[in-house]
Every structure is written in C-alpha cells, then in structure tokens.
Amino acid sequence: MEFPADRRFLALWVAAGLVAALAFFWFGWVGPPWSRSTGITFCAFRRVTGIPCPGCGLTRAMAELSHGHLLAALRLHPFSPLVLVEGASLWGGVGLALLRARPLALPPRLFERLIIWQGAAFLALWLGRLATGTLPW
C-alpha cells in the first residue's frame, strides 16, 4: 500500500515522536550508553576545551525528568523543563500542521527571536555557572 506524500510525512512525524518518547524513558530508567560508568565524553566542546559546554547536563537532566525528579533535573540544568516543553510543543505543532496539510504557522520572526533569546539565556547561565564553579561535571 503506497502512502500519499502527506501521509508519509505524518507517519514519519509519529515515528519520530515515538522514538523520542521511548528514548526519553529508556535513558531515564536504564541510562544512556555513554552514562557515567563509561567515562566517554561525546561533547566536542568539552573534549577540546576541557570544560563543560552551555548544554552540559541536559541529557542527565532529561533522565531525571523521566523519573519525575524535577529538583535533580534543575540542579543539572535549570533549562531542562523548558527544553522538554519546547520539544514536545514543536513536535505537536508539526503534527498539527501535517494534519491540516498546511505549513507550520508562527508569527513573523518569532522563531528567530526565540532562538536568539534562548541562546543568550543559555550563554548567560553557562557563564554564571562557569564563574561560580557550579557546572555539572
């Protein structure tokens, strides 16, 4: 059975959401393959500079969120709940656009402004944590 193009995108969207949800809970309960026990660092920034990057702790924070440990997640990365909500919202918005067979409609320049402001917030948080020695290692 051949899906029309819009059905294929919808199927891909559903599959991507399922994979993301399964990974979220799998990493939370079992742990990612690169967890603390292996000592492997996948972050290129940390490998080159020796210091954690602005997103350091997000994977472990998401694992804590999947356990329902909000305070532990916030200690690892204060923006982790925001990133989780943004990812889920983007996934839902894309799905809604696919169902309506219309492009994802955002107010003009909103997406660019959100990226700039969130990037600035990540950088400010990182610099503050770097200065105070509170980055997760």
Per-residue pLDDT tens over the stretch 38-53:
556 667 788 888 888 8
Q: Which amino acid is at 74?
A: L
* Confidence at residue 30, expressed as pLDDT on a 0 to 100 scale: 61
* Confidence at residue 48, expressed as pLDDT on a 0 to 100 scale: 86
Instruction: Pick the more confident residue, 13 or 3.
Output: 13
- Taking CA atoms, 103 is separated from 14, 52, 91, 107, 129, in Å, by 17, 37, 13, 12, 39
- The whole-angstrom separation of Cα 26 and Cα 19 is 10
* Confidence at residue 21, expressed as pLDDT on a 0 to 100 scale: 78
| pLDDT confidence tier of residue 2, bands split at 50, 70 and 90 | very low
* Confidence at residue 127, expressed as pLDDT on a 0 to 100 scale: 94
- The whole-angstrom separation of Cα 37 and Cα 44 is 19
| pLDDT confidence tier of residue 5, bands split at 50, 70 and 90 | low
Span 59-93, pLDDT tens digits: 888 888 888 889 999 998 999 999 999 888 888 88
| pLDDT confidence tier of residue 107, bands split at 50, 70 and 90 | confident
